[in-house]
Amino acid sequence: MSLADVLALVARIRAVEQRLAVAEQERIATALLNDQIHALGNALQIVDLASGELVRHHVDHDQLLDDLRSGALGARGALAAMVAIARPAPRTGGGAAVAPIVRAAIDALRAVMPAIQLDGAVADTVTTRLAADELDALVLAAALDVATAAHVRFTLGERTIANVRWLELVRHDDRPGAFELDLAPPSLAGVVDKIARLVGGEVSLAPGRDGHELAIALPVAAR
């Protein structure tokens, strides 16, 4: 096992992990902005209703009322723009084809984990909404997380649950120890979980015939 090979694979994971960290910071900032947007919206609603009542009761100072209502309308337009900016755009369309990315990642891992295996298959046209580097990092992180295991095997398949198609990538390994999913650093399982959640996927750990089974479920992207 070459240290340079390991570092090269880890660098591919870290590049995606860094992007996810930036996205998480943006999510937190967006949550804070949403709080302020909500407060501003409430204030605008009060101004709008109050000015409307003044107009209906024929209060004088027409120019003041016009300015008040004009300001409220302008602020409401600015609020709508802020909401549009704060709301992250949903992922649309298919991402990278899953099977070729998984095969390529497993091939790259053989430089440091010669006995690693990949069983099962799905059509090369099947996609999720993950980008190619995200899929690559997911597979690399899942494998390197158990690099000390004597035997590591992945299976790739598809199943349908309640008329929803799911891709299922399962990591089988023979490590001893408790069956507990550790997502905290330095475990790389946390990276796997974060990437899966980008598209509404999930990760779970359970006992299997060979030891541990880490199941990574990803929804198939509708075409």
Pairing of strands 164-173, 117-119: unpaired
Residues 87-96 have pLDDT tens digits of 656 666 668 8
Q: Are residues 67 and 127 in the same domain?
A: no
Residues 158-194 have pLDDT tens digits of 999 888 899 999 999 988 776 678 888 788 899 999 9
pLDDT at 97 over 70: yes
pLDDT at 59 over 60: no
DSSP annotation of 91 reads: P
Q: Angle formed by the axes of helices 132-144 and 98-109, to 10°?
A: 40
Q: For position 32, what pLDDT does the model report?
A: 61
Altogether, the residues listed in the chain come to a count of 223
pLDDT band, very low/low/confident/very high, at 209 (cuts 50, 70, 90): confident
> Could you tell me if residue 43 is inside a domain?
yes
**64 or 70, greater pLDDT:** 70
Q: Are residues 150 and 41 in the same domain?
A: no
> Could you tell me if residue 47 is inside a domain?
yes
pLDDT band, very low/low/confident/very high, at 151 (cuts 50, 70, 90): very high
**Which amino acid, one-letter code, is at 76?**
R
The per-residue b/e assignment along 56-85, b for 16 or more CB within 10 angstroms, e otherwise, is eeeeeeeeeeeebbeebeebbeebeebeee
Q: Are residues 103 and 48 in the same domain?
A: no
Boundaries of domain holding 102: 98-219
The number of distinct structural domains making up the chain is 2
> Could you tell me if residue 64 is inside a domain?
yes
Q: Which span out of 48-62, 122-136, 165-179, 204-218 was modeled with the highest average pLDDT?
A: 122-136
pLDDT at 25 over 70: no
CB 215 within 8 A of CB 170: yes
Q: For residue 160, what is the domain's CATH number?
A: 3.30.565.10
Last residue of a domain, one of 18, 51, 86: 86
Q: For position 78, what pLDDT does the model report?
A: 65
Supply φ then ψ for residue 89, to 5 degrees. Answer: -70, 130
> Could you tell me if residue 20 is inside a domain?
yes
Q: Are residues 51 and 161 in the same domain?
A: no
Last residue of a domain, one of 61, 86, 111: 86
> Could you tell me if residue 91 is inside a domain?
no
Q: pTM score, two decimals?
A: 0.70
Q: Are residues 114 and 12 in the same domain?
A: no
pLDDT at 10 over 90: no
> Could you tell me if residue 93 is inside a domain?
no
What is the chain's Cα-based Rg?
25
The Cα 82–Cα 25 span in angstroms is: 18
Q: What is the average pLDDT value for the chain, to the nearest integer? A: 81
Q: For 172-198, what is the HEC assignment?
A: EECCCCCCCCCCCCCCCHHHHHHHHHC
- Of the chain, the percentage scoring pLDDT greater than 70 comes to 64
Q: Are residues 198 and 115 in the same domain?
A: yes
pLDDT at 64 over 80: no
Sheet hosting strand 117-119, strand order edge to edge: 117-119, 152-161, 164-173, 211-219, 202-208
Mean pLDDT of the 37-43 span: 66
> Could you tell me if residue 63 is inside a domain?
yes
> Could you tell me if residue 41 is inside a domain?
yes
Q: Which of 65, 80, 140, 66 is nearest to 110 (CA)?
A: 140
Last residue of a domain, one of 26, 57, 86: 86
Q: Are residues 131 and 166 in the same domain?
A: yes
Element at 183 (helix H, strand E): none
Q: Which span out of 20-24, 27-31, 184-188, 194-198 was modeled with the highest average pLDDT?
A: 194-198
